[in-house]
A and B are shown apart, each in its own frame.
Chain A
Amino acid sequence: MTIQECYNALGGDYNEVIGRLKSERLVQKFVLKFPADGSYELLLRSLEEGNAQEAFRAAHTIKGMCQNLAFTALGNSSAALTEALRDGSLAGYEALLSPVKEDYARTVAAIGEYEASL
């Protein structure tokens, strides 16, 4: 699996990220790092515990990383969740969380497959 195919699989824009970061080595390095970042777990845990502020920060971090890496799909869904959580209320976040879950699973799966093919 090429990195390009990995991006296609996770719904990202490889051309965009390589345009910005300039080096495939860098892109690869950060893509492989992504699954290890704890923000997703923090997001789920904070939502479970009803900690809206922490959940907002975690969602915001995921959004930021996705923007940096041009993970478009997860970036969009996490951005929507971030905005919903911004004012500190947990009302109706569930509807926005499930696309984040789906996109995250897809993203991590694609990266896993890519890593296995290296």
Chain B
Amino acid sequence: MGTEKGRRKEKILVVDDSEMNRSILADMLSDEFDVTEAEDGEAALEILGKSADEFSIVLLDIVMPKKDGFEVLAEMNRTRMIEELPVVMVSAETASAQIERAYELGATDFIMRPFDASIVRRRVLNTIFLYAKQRNLLSIIEAQINEKEQNSSLMVDILSHIVEFRNGESGLHILHVRTITDLLLRKVIKKTDRYPFTEADISIISMASALHDIGKIAIDDKILNKPGKLTDEEFAVMKTHSMIGAKMLEGLASHRTNPLVRHAYQICRWHHERWDGRGYPDGLKGDEIPVSAQIVALADVYDALTSERVYKPPFSPETAKEMILTGKCGAFDPFLLECFSEEFEHIREDLSKNVTEREARREIRNYAEAVRHTGGTVASERTLKLLDYERMKYNFYAELTEEVQFEYLVPENILKLSAWGAKKFGVEQEISDPANNRRLQEQLGKDWFSGLGRALQQTTPGSPEFRRDCELPIGGELRWYSVIMRVFRTDGERSEIESVIGKLVDIHDTRLAMNELKEKSIRDPLTGLLNREGAGEELPAKLANFPAHKYAVAVFDIDLFKRANDTYGHLFGDKVLTEVAERLVHSTRVHDLCARIGGDEFLIVFEYDADIHPIIARVFKALCGPVGEFDLTVSMGVAEMTEKGQGFRDLFKHADEALYACKNAGRANYGFYGESKE
């Protein structure tokens, strides 16, 4: 799995003037993030100025020397950095006015000092995830924009450019007017409730603004492109363009119903009206002029002033602003001038940016806003609900079964755990960069992640499952677990592991119980010795060590055991058996194997190096001796293993023969196979 190469950690910028506060945050976060520190607002802006793209989030203190947190936010607003890079305030400030101000300046979240390690980590993660989601949404929307919006936008552009070409203006005028209109509209809406414009309205009005001069199509070339000042007559002709444009639009069938055409009509007709009533063609005054036309008028004037024309050089943005604000050029609503003044920096900056990029970004942002407002996910609401239900069901079962369920997303390098699993390991349910998570290393062993990697290597596209029972050192205790995993791979030839789901089930107790049962089945409950099955199971492996070790099989039974039973009762009989077993265990060594293979019949397999005879003599002696009033003796037959591969049955049969020879010879004795016959 590609993750061990160490997927880049998300970078965080921590801005705080107190070294201690910075290092507390850094310590809390350095496990999962790559932390860069800045000691004041100025240093932060310097870092961001160079490499804002690298960071996923900024943690920002408020009270700092040189530049404080608010100044940093303001600057990030000015450069629009705030739209891409989330800022979480971390401060001891509790005054709600301060907090409110931070939010107004675009802060995403506010963490109050003193902070809690897990909350800080969680909030930072959440913020990063949220922004990542938003970025994804933006890219989805981008695709849709290209499909949906471009058509109508393109029509408008073509139409307006025809005018511009005739006009001899740079193709940028239309775009500039549109940009300024958009920015001013937003500002106006932010500052007042007077106009009930929605995001859709803003987008339509901005688009319609591009059509403000279409009436010029009908104006004579000679007048339109005359290098010098127009005569009164020529100017009178020129002035007709606004009404002509309106008429053109009025002729369209959709004039009354289509909002684009309706706004374009107002803009065309009234974008040369003046707030003081001295404009044309209708001499409307003040609020009689639709605000869309007022805004386009201002945008038109500003861009005309700052652009080069056949009859004039361009003015600087500052001069143009001054001319408009002081009423040297046009007459506007003081409120609108206020908006213009406040939005001036933005406007100037936006107009100097690359045109297409600016356009794309604006469209996308607008569309995203619209989706957000209109709830573009209505259609999938039901699906989401079902998914939620499934998730609840899954969680419920997961809680019940006490198993660690997990999901590992390779490209994201995120491990997700079921609630129970997270609790068991004492970690969060979502862990980014799990390989280096200290707590997991403590819980699963330092190399758990590479172990997982090795396990996953054993899967193939054809057999994506992995199942194994194994002992794992979880929580410092070696226990048996059943590991079940399934991997998901990317399509295509170079199919790589994309994600893994699976679970760890603690089977330790079950396994122990199984072992115990098995143990029981091969042991004689009375004496605790192996029974016949047990002996049969363990012997072959043992005998395989021949000839490195020598082996002999002895079979013995208790002489006259039936009589003891009959005389003293079965309980006594049990006592005798137990006693024999005890004597047997004490007289043999660990490597020897003892079993009770029938009523009073026992088996010993000796492992020895030199001579078996003295061993047998010693054991025989130990076994015999009175139990209560019963004078216990045994008869024993012994067979030595003589060749490799000799089976247990064979040996047993020989020993049994030797035993019968002993019995026939009068009991209370032992004999060796092959020797008695001699």
A-side residues, CB < 8 A to B, are 16-17, 19-22, 26, 29-30, 33-34, 37, 39, 54, 56-57, 60-61, 63-65, 67-70
Contacts and interface: CB of A to CB of B under 8 A. Distances in A.
B92 A70 contact: no
A39 B118 CA distance: 27
Given A60-B63, A60-B92, A67 B114 contact: yes
Nearest to A66: B114
Nearest to B63: A60
Interface string B506-531: 00000000000000000000000000
Contacts of A68: 20-21, 24, 113-115
B17 interface: yes
Contacts of A29: 27
Contacts of A39: 18
A34 B117 contact: no
A21 B117 contact: yes
- Chain B CB count within 10 A is highest, among A29, A63, A68, for A68
B19 to A, nearest CB: 7
Contact of B92 (A19, A30, A64): A64
Contacts of B19: 33, 37
B18 A37 contact: yes
B92 A63 contact: yes
Contacts of B115: 20, 68
Of all A-B residue pairs in the complex, the 3 with the closest CB atoms, nearest first, are A67-B114, A20-B116, A64-B92
Contacts of B63: 56-57, 60-61
- Chain A CB count within 10 A is highest, among B114, B116, B118, for B114
Nearest to B68: A57
B645 interface: no
- Chain B CB count within 10 A is highest, among A20, A26, A37, for A20
B310 to A, nearest CB: 55
Contacts of B65: 54, 57
Interface string B82-123: 000000000110000000000000000000011111100000
B18 A22 contact: no
A65 B20 contact: yes
A34 to B, nearest CB: 7
B20 A22 contact: no
Nearest to A42: B65
B36 interface: no
A54 B20 CA distance: 18
B64 interface: yes
A34 B114 CA distance: 15
A67 B23 contact: no
Contacts of B92: 60, 63-64, 67
Nearest to A17: B114
Contacts of B24: 21, 26, 30, 68
A33 B117 contact: no
Given A61-B17, A64-B92, A68-B20, A26 B114 contact: no
Interface of B: 17-21, 23-24, 27-28, 61, 63-65, 91-92, 113-118
A64 B89 CA distance: 13
Nearest to A68: B114
A20 B20 contact: no
A22 B17 CA distance: 24
Given A21-B28, A61-B21, A63-B92, 12 more contacts: A17-B114, A20-B116, A20-B117, A22-B118, A33-B20, A61-B17, A61-B63, A64-B61, A65-B21, A67-B113, A67-B114, A68-B21
A68 B115 CA distance: 7
Contacts of B64: 57
A45 to B, nearest CB: 14
Given A26-B27, A57-B63, A57-B64, A64 B21 contact: yes
Contact of A20 (B18, B27, B114): B114
Contacts of B61: 64
Contacts of A60: 63, 92
B18 A19 contact: no
Nearest to B19: A37
A33 B19 CA distance: 10
A20 B27 CA distance: 13
Contacts of B117: 20-22
A85 to B, nearest CB: 11
B17 to A, nearest CB: 6
A65 B23 contact: no
A33 B23 contact: yes
B428 to A, nearest CB: 12
A60 to B, nearest CB: 5
21 contacts: A20-B116, A21-B117, A22-B117, A26-B27, A30-B24, A34-B20, A37-B19, A54-B65, A56-B63, A57-B17, A57-B63, A60-B92, A61-B17, A61-B18, A64-B21, A64-B113, A65-B18, A65-B20, A68-B21, A68-B113, A69-B114
A65 B114 CA distance: 8
A30 B20 contact: yes
A69 B453 CA distance: 41
Nearest to B94: A79
Given A39-B18, A57-B17, A19 B113 contact: no
A98 B548 CA distance: 89
Contact of A64 (B18, B23, B27, B118): B18
Contacts of A30: 20, 23-24
A50 B23 CA distance: 30
B211 to A, nearest CB: 54
Nearest to A70: B114
A29 B19 CA distance: 13
B151 to A, nearest CB: 55
A73 B294 CA distance: 61
A56 to B, nearest CB: 8
Contacts of B114: 16-17, 20, 67-70
Nearest to A64: B92
A64 B114 CA distance: 7
A20 B117 CA distance: 6
Contacts of A56: 63
Contacts of A26: 24, 27
- Chain B CB count within 10 A is highest, among A56, A69, A70, for A69
Contacts of A34: 20
A25 to B, nearest CB: 9
A1 B404 CA distance: 41
B465 to A, nearest CB: 38
A63 B20 CA distance: 12
A105 B27 CA distance: 27
B112 to A, nearest CB: 9
Contacts of B18: 37, 39, 61, 64-65
A26 B26 CA distance: 11
A20 B65 CA distance: 28
Nearest to A20: B116
A37 B20 contact: yes
Nearest to A61: B18
A108 to B, nearest CB: 14
Contacts of A70: 114
Contacts of A67: 92, 113-114
A64 B21 CA distance: 8
